[in-house]
Structure 1
């Protein structure tokens, strides 16, 4: 049965480690981890979550964009497990936008990311997938990919003036609507 897993927070050394390549995608433990990550990201109001965020240092993450209290304008896509993902090409256009992280609660940062990326990953059935992602979904992928490289969004913020609390961010979003 799938369960919500505890999410580790900034300061835990696992978040700063490079994650390990998944060799056996069909392994029962990997398949259970995928199911548990889908439950965890949904219950935590996230739009993505990487295995290292639940103290499992595998090159695996879930992209699960949908509108929620943290991201009310997120597009709706089916939760997708991306195993051993890679960015194979990216646009020259870089866009800054606000990001938060389930492992860095209470903080948002203005983070530059590629507008468009070409990616490949293995799905949970062992099939190689290639896609082009743009805008918010490309941002999610890059954010989660950073977790596999031992980085968090704070590492990409260009100035501490581009940080704010989650409460201030939410207040500004209410004013915008």
Structure 2
């Protein structure tokens, strides 16, 4: 099933998400459906709030960046109940977009490496370090489960310049090639 993507203005994007219990119904199907939705929207990451679910689940598919970073080849993962507990002081600015903000991009500074604990879809625990592009997309998606959106991380001046576009999104005035809600 392909879910519609929730667009900026919906309150679910601002909620601090609830942990996913081990007995969550049809979790594997939800993860599979999220990957289908992500593929349809041609994105590299998708968090549960972006499909209207306020649970601590997000997925990443970095394979489109394999030419730029060979470690991204076939890199697809689900992250459940993730917790970033360390971030490098070294940062890099990336030009980000978001499926929930069609047509809007902005430079966002993020840590070059992070350490994170999470569960996979089998509920097996992992504790890993992520660097480069993987760390970047994971931080973006992690923000979603914390109720933060990428425009919260840009300068107040830049956010003010985007104010009209953000208001249009919230009013439903936008165009994109994927299903939205």
Query: Structure 1: any 5+ residue segments left out of the alignment?
Result: 166-177
CA 1:130 to 1:87, structure 2 compared with 1: closer, same or farther past 3 Å?
same
SS in 1 for 2:49: helix
Aligned residue pair count: 160
Offset at residue 50 of structure 1 (A): 0.2
Q: Which residue of 1 aligns with 2:119?
A: 122
Higher strand residue share: 1
Q: Which residue of 2 aligns with 1:21?
A: 19
TM (norm. structure 2) is 0.81
Structure 1 runs of 4+ off > 4 angstroms? 71-74, 161-165
Is residue 110–residue 162 contact of structure 1 (8 Å, CA) maintained in 2? no
Is residue 116–residue 132 contact of structure 1 (8 Å, CA) maintained in 2? yes
Pairing of 1:136-175 with structure 2 (within 5 A): 136-158=133-155, 159-160=157-158
TM (norm. structure 1) is 0.83
Aligned residues: CA RMSD? 2.3
**1:32 & 1:161 partners in 2: Cα distance?**
37
Q: Does 1:133 align with 2:165?
A: no
SS in 2 for 1:107: coil
Higher RCO (CA-CA < 8 Å; seq separation 6+): 2
SS in 1 for 2:26: helix
Is residue 83–residue 121 contact of structure 1 (8 Å, CA) maintained in 2? yes
CA 1:123 to 1:54, structure 2 compared with 1: closer, same or farther past 3 Å?
same
Query: Structure 2: any 5+ residue segments left out of the alignment?
Result: 166-181
Q: Which residue of 1 aligns with 2:38?
A: 41
Offset at residue 162 of structure 1 (A): 10
**1:154 & 1:129 partners in 2: Cα distance?**
29
Q: Which residue of 1 aligns with 2:27?
A: 30
